[in-house]
């Protein structure tokens, strides 16, 4: 019992000569804990992942800082040429959120901390900011870290020093991210260049081959048709029909290739999508209904005219309808809906023609590939994989879009959007 008491006395320092020993020890322990926490935070801040978005980086820094400093909001500011990006993070309960505010940098491509403070006062007038700058090794300021408080806060000298040190540590991580983004951007641009060069070469080659094949194929088809008139039945008749079908298929591929390489010239005119729907249904509607597919029309006759190539828009619609026909094959109540409507996307107005089917749908991992040339999930002799890539090319050449929405085993909907204002602008 006596030993225990002695130990307590020693630890608390009650019998020591300095009366304040206990509170000093306490303060020391608290100080040590705080320093430990600060070191931990610094350590965490050097481990920001390079592939994070700036919003994620801002939230990460804010959440780490909130463990050792008190503030209402945190801002990561980055200077990119003549633009300033403010990534403002704040906490709501356990969740952090971040929003971006973009401003022009009136002072050129860099900014001093005094100029930044002035700007911050103007932009965020309801709060007081405490900022440190992010400076590269050449001394150029490329960003700031700011703690925002609704009330004026004077951080103790020691906390402010710590905050400055944070700036130095975060700087390294941020520079790594900037470097990573720069390199990734360059790699991406290079890949795009290679891709477009490949496409251009492919287009040129396709156009050459298509022209070469077109004439002999016309002769083959013509002669086979003549022979088919004479020999209708038997083995020979069937063989001729096969030759004719294969010839037609080859012609379709050639036409697709020609359109794909955009070697054909098309006239732009004022067109009404409902007329196009009527024309196309008179061409392929029969083919669909004899396969037992019910076709529904949802056309809105009040939509405005747009400028475009009737032939090309028809081609897109035919591609979409044939895809829908393939997709509903084997379904118990096959149905294809063709409709037109007005639609608004990213604050722009479009007229839309859509094809919806209740077929097999598209698997999520295929969605990003279906517009690539030669991508097909159909059997070897059935699909060339060019329909959608040609259609997308046509949509883009009209300043429009080709959108897809699908759920496996439920439905697929493709919508061709054409901008309304193009009627005034012309082509």
Ligand X SMILES: Nc1ncnc2c1ncn2[C@@H]1O[C@H](COP(=O)(O)OP(=O)(O)OP(=O)(O)O)[C@@H](O)[C@H]1O
Contacting residues toward ligand X, per CB under 6 A: 319, 323-324, 327, 357, 359-362, 370, 375-378, 383-389, 412
Residue 305 burial (10 A CB sphere; 0-12, 13-18, 19+): middle
Please select the residue that binds Mg ion; options are 64, 323, 340, 415, rule is CB under 5 A: 323
Token readout for 265 is 């010239």
Strand partners, 100: 87
> Got the DSSP string for 20-46?
THHHHHHHHHHHHHHHHHHHHHHHHHT
Stretch that binds Mg ion, among 163-171, 354-362, 383-391, 403-411 (CB under 5 A): 383-391
Residue 387: φ, ψ to 5°:
-50, -55
Give, to the nearest 10 degrees, the angle between helix 387-397 and helix 310-328: 150
- Which residue minimizes CB distance to ligand X? 387
Total residues at interface with Mg ion (CB under 5 A): 2
Token readout for 114 is 């005094």
Within 386-415, which residues bind Mg ion (CB under 5 A)?
A: 387
Nearest approach, Cβ of 204 to ligand X (angstroms)? Answer: 20
Q: Is 187 helix (H, G, I), strand (E, B) or coil?
A: helix
Q: Is 256 in the site for Mg ion (CB under 5 A)?
A: no
Nearest approach, Cβ of 389 to ligand X (angstroms)? Answer: 6
Nearest approach, Cβ of 295 to Mg ion (angstroms)? Answer: 17
Spatial separation of the C-alpha atoms in residues 283 and 321, rounded to whole Å? 11
Would you give the end-to-end CA distance of the chain in angstroms? 100
Spatial separation of the C-alpha atoms in residues 183 and 383, rounded to whole Å? 39
**Between 387 and 419, whose beta carbon lies closer to ligand X?**
387
Nearest approach, Cβ of 350 to ligand X (angstroms)? Answer: 21
Stretch that binds Mg ion, among 91-99, 148-156, 176-184, 317-325 (CB under 5 A): 317-325
Q: Is 315 in the site for Mg ion (CB under 5 A)?
A: no
**Between 58 and 389, whose beta carbon lies closer to ligand X?**
389
Nearest approach, Cβ of 322 to Mg ion (angstroms)? Answer: 6
Q: Yes or no: say if 268 and 232 are a contact pair by the CB < 8 Å rule.
A: no
Residue 183: φ, ψ to 5°:
-65, -45
Nearest approach, Cβ of 402 to ligand X (angstroms)? Answer: 11
Closest CA to 148 of 217, 73, 85: 73
Can you say how many angstroms the Cα of residue 359 is from the centroid of all Cα atoms in its chain? 26
**Between 179 and 248, whose beta carbon lies closer to Mg ion?**
248
Binds 397, which of Mg ion, ligand X, none (CB < 5 to 8 A, cut-off by type)? none
Instruction: Return the DSSP state at 385.
Output: S
**Between 52 and 311, whose beta carbon lies closer to Mg ion?**
311
Nearest approach, Cβ of 190 to ligand X (angstroms)? Answer: 27
Binds 314, which of Mg ion, ligand X, none (CB < 5 to 8 A, cut-off by type)? none
Residues contributing to the site for Mg ion (CB under 5 A): 323, 387
């Amino acid at each position: 019992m006596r030993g225990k008491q002695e130990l307590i006395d020693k630890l608390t320092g009650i019998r020591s000569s300095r009366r304040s020993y206990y509170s000093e020890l306490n303060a020391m322990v608290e100080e040590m804990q705080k320093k430990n926490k600060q070191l931990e935070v610094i350590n965490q801040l050097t481990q920001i992942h390079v592939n994070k978005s700036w919003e994620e980086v801002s939230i990460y820094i804010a959440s780490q800082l909130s463990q050792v400093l008190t503030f209402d909001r945190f801002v990561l500011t980055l200077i990119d040429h003549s633009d300033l990006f403010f990534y403002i993070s704040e906490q709501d309960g356990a969740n952090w959120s971040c929003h971006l505010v973009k401003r022009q940098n009136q002072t050129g491509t860099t900014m001093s901390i005094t100029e930044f403070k002035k700007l911050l006062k103007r932009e965020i007038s309801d709060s007081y900011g405490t900022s440190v700058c992010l400076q590269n090794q050449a001394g150029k300021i490329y960003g700031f870290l700011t703690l925002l408080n609704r009330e004026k806060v004077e951080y103790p000298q020691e906390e402010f020093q710590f905050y400055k040190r944070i700036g130095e540590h975060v700087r390294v991580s941020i520079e790594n991210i900037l470097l990573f983004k720069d390199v990734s951007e360059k790699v991406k641009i290079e890949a795009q260049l290679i891709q477009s060069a490949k496409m251009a070469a492919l287009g040129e080659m396709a156009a050459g081959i298509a022209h070469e094949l077109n004439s002999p194929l016309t002769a083959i088809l013509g002669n086979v048709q003549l022979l088919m008139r004479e020999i209708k039945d038997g083995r020979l008749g069937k063989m001729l029909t096969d030759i004719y079908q294969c010839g037609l298929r080859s012609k379709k591929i050639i036409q697709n290739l020609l359109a794909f390489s955009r070697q054909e010239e098309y006239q732009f005119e004022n067109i009404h999508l409902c007329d196009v729907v009527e024309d196309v249904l008179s061409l392929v509607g029969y083919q669909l209904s004899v396969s037992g597919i019910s076709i529904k029309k949802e056309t809105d006759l009040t939509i405005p005219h747009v400028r475009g190539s009737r032939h090309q828009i028809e081609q897109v619609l035919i591609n979409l309808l044939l895809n829908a026909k393939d997709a509903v094959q084997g379904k118990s109540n096959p149905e294809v809906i063709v409709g037109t409507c007005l639609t608004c996307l990213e604050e722009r107005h479009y007229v839309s023609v859509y094809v919806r089917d209740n077929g097999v749908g598209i698997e999520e991992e295929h969605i990003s590939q279906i517009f690539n040339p030669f991508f097909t999930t159909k059997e070897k002799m059935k699909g060339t994989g060019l329909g959608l890539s040609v259609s997308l090319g046509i949509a883009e050449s009209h300043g429009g879009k080709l959108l897809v929405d699908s759920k496996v085993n439920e439905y697929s909907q493709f919508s061709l959007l054409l901008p309304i204002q193009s009627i005034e602008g012309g082509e």
